[in-house]
């Protein structure tokens, strides 16, 4: 499999660049197919399948992005891996657009050969393994089908030609053997079972089944009525191996056939030996004999021949199953290692965000109200938390690919959500000179929803309105409450929607006017995301328009309003914080930036804070000092956080300390292990400060 050459498509209008790619990739076992334009690339993809496409962005005619879109629009190439190549280094707009088109990576010119080879090798290996699995599965299915049909056809021909007198009994025997072979996969189980059934039904006295080993020798898998070596090298068995045909010896005691020497020694009157063949491959010998009957009848020979053929098919099938299971196990190991790598990557990306959030919170609390720096600090803190959320979604591969994005519900004031969405969409709205009107209920509205996702819903609707409204247009955002239901409407005086398109606008990649949509930008995924997120909240979406040129209205209806809530969510934590008692807190964290910034923040809030930089010292301090709360990192050197919790819970007199796991590892498995180790709560870095302070109050 590793030596199989696969096709890689390189698309670049510069022949020199194509030649360079060919030189770099020549030793990876790939056939580099060159295309000098997007049109030529699409033609090549129609002609054959590729393991990977290396696609230059800037080309005359169809550029790389448009070429990629057309590739994705074709079902056969919808999942073809694409790596974009560009000379414009780290252009975030291009990178974002590339990933929206389904790119697996970006390479910037000049290309480092080692990096290119490493990335391409991964996809070549994946393509080969996938092709090998498909090939083996097809071979298994085809071989089983052919051999099964051949065996049944030969048996039927023999039975009809010889007019077997005991047809029903023989068919019953074969049916029993087939059931045995269908219910078992292990040759060590089904070979003895089948042979015992043959001995019993045919009334024979002696038998043996000998299978070919990896070294070519015949080894006994089953024996009845005789003794002998486990490794067989008799003249009869070797003759069957050489001829690939059955050998029947009748009247053994009265003949002088040199192949019958062992049969005479066993006092047999007749013996038959049959090869077990899978196609042209010799898998073993099946031998049966009688001490009382000098002849093995033709109908018995026919049954034994079918049994030998079926045994061969089953043995070959078992061998193929073992190969497939080995390949599947290798893929499972590779997948597990990928998940472990992504989990570690998420941890390493979250950790740097924690001190940023802590530092912003600390400085924000020290500045007087009204200080102009507060707005910048709030923006930095908000974006750091947003980055952490993106890390969660981008790195949880299984959740994204299966469409399982878990909501993190919290009680939050609607006005805050709308303001976050407005700030996100403000650059696009301001750039086009639109006038935005926001209408909210006069009384504060508390919603139980995922605040980030709810803001994303509103922001996507505002962006859609801004995009499809000519410069200087008017956009109205209106929120109303009906019982527990929140109604969000975004109305514009833009291009409008044709009646036949209203039911399709929320589908992926739908473009109302393809030419206009390309000019306005976007892939047609924003409204799809709105629909999915609204449905995750248990709501519905709708679109209305009186036709082209008459604007449109998009509405999202969500059951998220908290009944009886009269205070603003952002004010409640502040008042709770003001009434909190001073607590003794031990902070166990090996990352110095996280530890020091969080310590400063907690001390500013009036808590008494001590610290430890490793698990062993942290466990000792918890047991000795018995603080009210211990914030313990999971990924500590030496004794990790789980071990710290178990040690503390076992120590006498340490059960008064409330343990909180503070970790960069996400996922339900980590939370479950934290509970089992003895933690009272589990927080993921970077922690929202209000969430931390609320938890400290609850643990009191």
Domain limits, the chain: 6-134, 164-323, 406-558, 579-699
Interatomic CA distance for residues 127 and 358, integer angstroms = 45
Whether the bond into 110 is cis, omega within 30 of 0: yes
Backbone φ and ψ for 658, nearest 5 degrees, come out as -90, 125
Q: What is the CATH number of domain 579-699?
A: 3.40.50.2300
* Angle subtended by helix axes 38-47 and 64-73, to nearest 10: 30
Do 6-134 and 579-699 share a fold? yes
Contact at 8 Å (CB) between 444 and 562? no
Q: What is the CATH number of domain 6-134?
A: 3.40.50.2300
pLDDT of 328-375, one tens digit each?
A: 888 888 877 776 676 676 666 667 777 777 777 777 777 787 777 777
Contact at 8 Å (CB) between 502 and 545? yes
Q: Give the E-state strand segments of 98-230 in sequence order.
A: 105-108, 206-212, 218-224
Interatomic CA distance for residues 174 and 157, integer angstroms = 15
Contact at 8 Å (CB) between 507 and 582? no
Report the predicted TM-score, pTM, of the whole model to 2 decimal places.
0.40
Interatomic CA distance for residues 492 and 315, integer angstroms = 70
Name the stretches of the chain with pLDDT < 70.
Answer: 1-3, 88-91, 159, 161-174, 177, 228-233, 339-340, 342-343, 345-350, 382-383, 385-406, 508-525, 563-581, 652-655, 666-668, 700
What pLDDT, on a 0 to 100 scale, did the predictor assign at position 417? 92
What pLDDT, on a 0 to 100 scale, did the predictor assign at position 159? 66
Which fold is adopted by the domain 406-558? Answer: Heat Shock Protein 90 (3.30.565)
- Exposed, middle or buried, 458 (CB in 10 Å: 0-12/13-18/19+)? buried
What pLDDT, on a 0 to 100 scale, did the predictor assign at position 171? 64
Contact at 8 Å (CB) between 414 and 449? no
Which fold is adopted by the domain 164-323? Answer: Beta-Lactamase (3.30.450)
């Amino acid at each position: 499999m590793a030596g199989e050459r696969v096709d890689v498509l390189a698309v670049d209008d510069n022949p020199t660049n194509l030649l360079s790619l060919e030189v770099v990739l020549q030793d990876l076992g790939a056939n580099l197919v060159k295309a000098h334009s997007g049109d030529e690339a699409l033609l090549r993809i129609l002609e054959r399948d590729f393991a990977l496409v290396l696609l230059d962005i800037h080309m005359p005619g169809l550029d790389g992005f448009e070429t990629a879109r057309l590739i994705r629009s074709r079902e056969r190439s919808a999942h073809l891996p694409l790596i974009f190549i560009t000379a414009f280094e780290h252009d975030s707009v291009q990178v974002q657009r590339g990933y929206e088109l389904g790119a697996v990576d970006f390479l910037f010119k000049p290309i480092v050969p080692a990096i290119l080879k490493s990335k391409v090798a991964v996809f070549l290996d994946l393509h080969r393994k996938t092709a090998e699995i498909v090939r083996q599965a097809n071979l298994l299915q085809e071989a089983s089908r052919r051999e099964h049909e051949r065996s049944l056809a030969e048996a039927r021909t023999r039975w009809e030609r010889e007019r077997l007198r005991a047809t029903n009994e023989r068919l019953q025997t074969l049916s029993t053997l087939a059931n045995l072979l269908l219910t078992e996969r292990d040759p060590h189980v089904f070979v003895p079972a089948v042979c015992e059934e043959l001995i019993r039904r045919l009334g024979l006295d002696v038998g043996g089944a000998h299978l070919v080993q990896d070294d070519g020798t015949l080894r006994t898998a089953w024996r009845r009525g005789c003794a002998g070596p486990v490794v067989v090298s008799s003249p009869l068995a070797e003759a069957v191996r050489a001829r690939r045909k059955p050998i029947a010896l009748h009247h053994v005691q009265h003949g002088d056939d040199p192949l019958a020497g062992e049969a005479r020694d066993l006092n047999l009157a007749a013996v038959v030996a049959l090869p077990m063949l899978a196609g042209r491959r010799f898998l073993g010998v099946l031998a049966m004999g009688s001490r009382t009957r000098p002849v093995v009848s033709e109908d018995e020979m026919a049954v034994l021949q079918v049994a030998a053929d079926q045994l061969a098919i089953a043995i070959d099938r078992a061998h193929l199953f073992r190969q497939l299971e080995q390949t599947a196990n290798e893929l499972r190991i590779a997948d597990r290692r990928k998940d472990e790598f992504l989990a570690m990557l998420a941890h390493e990306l979250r950790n740097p965000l924690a001190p940023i959030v802590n530092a912003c919170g600390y400085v924000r609390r020290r500045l007087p109200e009204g200080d102009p720096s507060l707005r910048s600090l709030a923006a930095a803190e908000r974006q750091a938390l947003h980055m952490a959320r993106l890390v969660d979604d981008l790195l949880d591969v299984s959740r994204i690919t299966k469409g399982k994005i878990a909501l993190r519900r919290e009680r939050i004031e609607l006005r805050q959500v709308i303001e976050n969405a407005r700030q996100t969409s403000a650059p696009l709205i301001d750039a086009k000179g639109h006038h935005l009107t926001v209408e909210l209920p006069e009384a504060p509205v508390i919603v139980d929803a995922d605040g980030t996702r709810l803001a994303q819903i509103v922001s996507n609707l505002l962006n859609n309105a801004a995009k499809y409204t000519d410069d200087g247009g008017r956009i109205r955002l209106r929120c109303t409450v009906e019982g527990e239901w929140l109604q969000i409407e975004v109305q514009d005086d833009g291009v409008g929607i044709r009646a036949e398109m209203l039911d399709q606008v929320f589908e992926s990649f739908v473009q109302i006017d393809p030419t206009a949509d390309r000019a306005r930008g976007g892939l047609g995924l924003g409204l799809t995301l709105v629909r999915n997120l609204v449905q995750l909240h248990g709501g519905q979406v709708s679109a209305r328009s009186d036709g082209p040129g008459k604007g449109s209205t998009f509405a999202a209806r969500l059951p998220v309003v908290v009944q009886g809530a009269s205070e603003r969510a952002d004010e409640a934590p502040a008042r709770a914080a003001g009434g909190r008692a001073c607590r003794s807190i031990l902070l166990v964290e090996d990352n110095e930036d996280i530890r020091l910034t969080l310590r400063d923040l907690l001390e500013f809030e009036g808590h008494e804070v001590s610290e430890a930089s490793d698990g062993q010292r942290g466990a000792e301090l918890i047991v000795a000092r018995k603080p009210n709360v211990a914030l313990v990192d999971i990924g500590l050197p030496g004794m990790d956080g789980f071990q710290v919790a178990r040690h503390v819970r076992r120590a006498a007199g340490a059960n008064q300390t409330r343990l909180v796991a503070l970790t960069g590892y996400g996922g339900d498995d980590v939370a479950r292990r934290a509970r089992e180790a003895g933690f009272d709560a589990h927080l993921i870095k970077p922690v929202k400060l209000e969430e931390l302070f609320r938890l400290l109050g609850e643990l009191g």
